[in-house]
A and B are shown apart, each in its own frame.
Chain A
Amino acid sequence: MEYIIITIGFALTIFGLYGILSQKNMIKIIIGFSLFTTGINIVMVAIGFIRGGTAPILDEAGKEIGKYVDPLPQALVLTSIVIGLGVTALMLAYVMKLYQDKKSLNINDYKDLKW
């Protein structure tokens, strides 16, 4: 089960990466980034998963040792999602500013700096 999820996660990551590298529209590139990070997050959760484990919440039901799924990856994923949100927002802000400047969303139009 977790292997399927890991595979799906990686597939999403690759899809996202493909989008980042192949799309010319900057909005689509940002969507690629979202896919990319989501895929990674799925992989992270899957890695921390223990079959038959419970949510890592300290309550009476979960006092049996070893029955929690690893809480750490989940914490990481939460942080990672927040960061991903920040990055996406900032990127969108950039794209907006750029669009105001040149009225184009094609990344090929923004090559003023080179060499």
Chain B
Amino acid sequence: MDYSIQKFLWTLLGLFIVLNWGFLMGSTMRRIGARLAGRVGVPIYQPWIDMIKMISLRTYLSHGVLYYIGPVFRLVGGIGMFLFMPVLVGSEIWSNYSFSGDLILLLYFQSFGMLGMALGASESGSPNATIGISRGLAQFAAVEVPMTLAVIAIAIQHHTFSFSEILDAQQGGFMNWTLFTNPLASIAGMLAMLGAMSHSPFNLVKAPNEIPIGPPTEYHSSFLSVLRTNSAIIHVVEAALFMNLFFGGADTWFMYIIKTFFVYFISVFIGMVFPRFKIEDSVRWFLKWPTVIGIIAVLVAAYWK
């Protein structure tokens, strides 16, 4: 079989696994959250049911072309992030399309889905959507600061932006993980992750009670199913990003699942404990401690180089 087709099929398989793991992880987290609140929670297969229900709805309402392709942008953004990052360490078949770009591409590709989604949601003319977007963009900008600092600290440390080289450097025992070789950068990065994951206290983008779930507020049926698909993928991929950066990556699918679960769990756990920030507080917060830690991380890395 032609190599490129082979590659394509392997990647598709990986995407399928990640999608289902995303669904499962989502429902698991919701159950954990419910237990903490003293409720029973949704059944573990709830996401799949939701998907089927949404796709099989018979009414499809559209605000226009942009509204229509907004979710497409969003999902391409999520899939793209998956495509441009290797899944397993040192594996050729699970390296996806990470040869066409590295960490920098990934950082900027986050915006692709955001932009498309923002445009689609805005076309509906719903103020709630736009308010959510404006909050999201502000928070995203602030989160990027410690994130960039962490990435640069890592790049200085390993002298590369390539995932495979960053991963290679972390192999051979957990003491080689960036978490231990560069703890400051890891702290800055993980704090940034809290914002990137958009869980409480940084969940004012969707803020269900104030601006009924924000940007996707006008989406329904198959459109919403695409968005849900994306959020399942993106949660795993975001977790995988931080796993690759700080926790040594994964050399098997098992490790992949375990590690992404725990990375994701951190953000959910903190979300359980803290109430929601206002947007200005959120921006200030990210520009304060995570940024300071990030700057120190960069300076330390530059010093040790």
Taking the complex as a whole, does A directly touch B, i.e. does some CB pair lie under 8 Å apart?
no
Contacts from A to B (Cβ < 8 Å)? none
